[in-house]
Amino acid sequence: MVYQEVTMKRTVYLFLFISIAFSYSAQGQFIEDALRFSHSGTLVSTRSAGMGNAFVGLANDASALYWNPAGLGQLRVKEFSIGLSHVGMDNDATMLGITTPGSNGSTSLSHINMALPFPVVRGSLVIAAGYNRLLDYNGAAEIDIYNPQSSIQASLFDDDIDLDFAWQLGLEDTLAQGYIDAGQPGWLAIPVANRVQQIIDQQEEGGLNQWSFGGSMEIARGAMVGVGLNVLSGSYRYERTFIEEDINGVWQDAIVGIPLNGMDYVTRTDFQRLTLQEEYTQDVSGWNMKFGFLYNFKDKARIGVAIQTASLVTINEDYFKTGDSEFADASMGYDLAFENHNYDIITPAIYSFGASYSPSEFATVSADIELVDYSNIELDASNDWDDITINDFNRDIRRLFRSTNNFRIGAEFNVPETGLFLRGGFGYRFSPYEDDENKSEYDVKTFSAGIGYRFRDNFAVQGAYVMSNYESFAYTYFDPDSAAPEESFRYTQETSVSQLMFGLSYYF
């Protein structure tokens, strides 16, 4: 048989009105985007990380600018702090009983903060500015399984021929139109339905940053109020390679499909391999404000309240998808590009309450509770989606998400007559999904430990190690064939995220 090399690379520039059509999560890409930008920061400062980030009711260093700006009023000397963070992510993905490990990691500047007290006749006045790396989006998942029950190919069908990857890659027979005319789904004309080897490699990277300016003043003895203006910036990138192979020679029949170079429909035989590559990128900007109150009773006990307003987040995204198919007598390729899609997300307000207590000058314990109603996430505007689509998204958000009460606890111990500080903490963040209520495996549990040393010359070094664990699930695609069980295109994940942080502080 003569081998026929067919190259059919075509780029189609369309609006990203179907951004969820190629989603890799259960709820659709937009839902994941909205949630990604709604969580509280975890990388803000080395000291607070070592105490489980239970800092709203303590807030007695420059990181108060993020946790509770009112706490800045406790500072009596100028403070400059800087830190680095390495985040490592290990993920065990299990599908059809086969577990495959994946990992990813990055190192970044975690924070730079400066706080400046001003001399006043009574009380205190402190202003501060800083940069904080709030969240890290690195992730990875790998899958390598033989799938006897499902194939990705039926999910590639679309009524719009420009979006129909199955047709453009020669995987779909000309019988599709007949099925559609008969009121049946066109994907029935895609013969490859199961018994294929599937190899998936997906990587995520990026993060969310915050630039802040704020201040605090003491309005009565021990009572302080503060405010901060926060500007958000960040990026997110997702890449996936999906390979599907007929390793057992099951699918050797002919497929009469897309014409070649203006010719009649071309017959291709013996499907061998399909390769799909996706790249999804986002540039993020936004802003919010934070208001705080803190009462300090003789440095023994403190209570604090912080309210972060809803954030207005603007996202500019691009999506690229490339496909290549191989048969015994042909190979084909097709590209899609969806570019310059913009939309605004309003994230929910975050209400935080904290308290700390120092039973002696050497020890402090603290606790925070955080209230977030994720059902208040809202898609606000888009350059592509119409009002009906936006309303549908917001209706789904209200149905899928719930409010949660997250909590954090921490402790700090100063070894007497030394500058050595030992810290520890624990945090618990409930899953925001309505269906995950009473399913603790989907909640994020965080354990932390920290150490610090303050030298006599007003210089301090800090270190912290944080470990978070949780489970989740995702879909490799959505098979429209009801004969394919959900577990044939759904996988579970056991994820561990470790953070190693190092910081320096100078007091002057």
pLDDT for position 29: 63
**Amino acid at residue number 4:** Q
Question: For residue 32, is pLDDT > 80?
Answer: no
Amino acid identity at 386? D
* Listed residue (294, 402, 295, 422) closest to 348, CA to CA: 402
Output the pLDDT for position 209. 95
Helix (H) / strand (E) containing 377? none
pLDDT of residue 263: 61
Q: How many whole angstroms separate alpha carbon 421 and alpha carbon 47?
A: 10
Given a cut of 50, whether residue 8 has pLDDT beyond it is no
> Mind giving me the DSSP string for 349-375?
PEEEEEEEEEEETTEEEEEEEEEEEGG
Q: What is the DSSP string of 76-119?
A: -S-EEEEEEEEEEEEEEEEETTEEEEEEEEEEEEEEEEEEEEE-
| pLDDT of amino acid 261 | 59
**Maximal C-alpha separation, the chain:** 94
Buried b / exposed e over 139-169, threshold 16 CB at 10 Å, is bbbbbebebebbbbbbbbbbeeeebbbbbbb
The CATH number of the domain holding residue 194 is 2.40.160.60
- Alpha helix (H) ranges present in 305-409? 387-400
What was the pLDDT predicted at 26? 30
Higher pLDDT, 261 or 70: 70
What is the pLDDT at residue 20? 36
210, pLDDT greater than 80: yes
Note whether 463 and 450 are within 8 A (CB): yes
pLDDT at 198 over 70: yes
Q: Report CA torsion sign: 12, 18, 19, 21.
A: negative
Structural domain contains residue 364: yes
For residue 16, pLDDT beyond 80 = no
**DSSP-derived 3-state class of residue 24:** coil
pLDDT of residue 161: 87
pTM summary value:
0.84
pLDDT value, residue 463: 96
Rounded mean pLDDT, 440-467: 94
Asked if the structure places residue 6 within a domain, the reply is no
pLDDT for the residue 40: 80
pLDDT in tens, 222-239: 999 999 999 999 999 999
**Domain presence at residue 7:** no
Q: CA 347, 353, 358, 361 torsion: positive or negative?
A: positive
| Phi, psi (rounded to 5 degrees) for 401 | -105, 165
Task: Tell me whether residue 82 is in a domain.
Answer: yes
Residue 345: which of 406, 279, 432, 284 has the closest Cα?
Answer: 284
**Cross-strand pairs, 238:** 204, 280
Q: Is the pLDDT of residue 366 over 90?
A: yes
Note the pLDDT of residue 178: 81
> Averaged over 428-445, what is the pLDDT?
91
Of the candidates 77, 53, 56, the one whose C-alpha atom is nearest the C-alpha of residue 65 is 56
Structure token digits, residue 199: 């190899």
Asked whether residue 7 carries a pLDDT value surpassing 90, the answer given is no
Query: Which phi and psi (to 5°) does residue 173 adopt?
Result: -80, 160
Which pLDDT tens digit goes with each residue over 377-396?
Answer: 998 888 877 888 888 888 88
| pLDDT for 168 beyond 50 | yes
CA distances from 268 to 196, 314, 322 (A): 18, 46, 20
Could you tell me if residue 276 is inside a domain? Answer: yes
Higher-pLDDT residue of 14 and 300 is: 300
Bigger pLDDT: 190 vs 32? 190
> Given this model, what pLDDT does residue 339 score?
84
Report the number of distinct structural domains present in the chain: 1
Q: Is residue 465 part of a domain?
A: yes
**112 within a domain of the structure (yes/no):** yes
The domain of 453 spans: 13-507
pLDDT band for 221, please (50, 70, 90 cuts).
very high
The tens digit of pLDDT for each residue in 49-69 reads 999 999 999 999 999 999 999
Among candidates 420, 440, 421, 419, which has minimal Cα distance to 429?
440
The better pLDDT of the pair 332, 502 is held by 502
* pLDDT at residue 459, rounded to an integer: 92
Higher pLDDT pick, 48 / 121: 48
State yes or no: pLDDT of 17 exceeds 60. no
Q: What is the pLDDT of residue 5?
A: 29
Query: 190 in a domain, yes or no?
Result: yes
Nearest to 358 by CA among 123, 73, 60, 81: 60
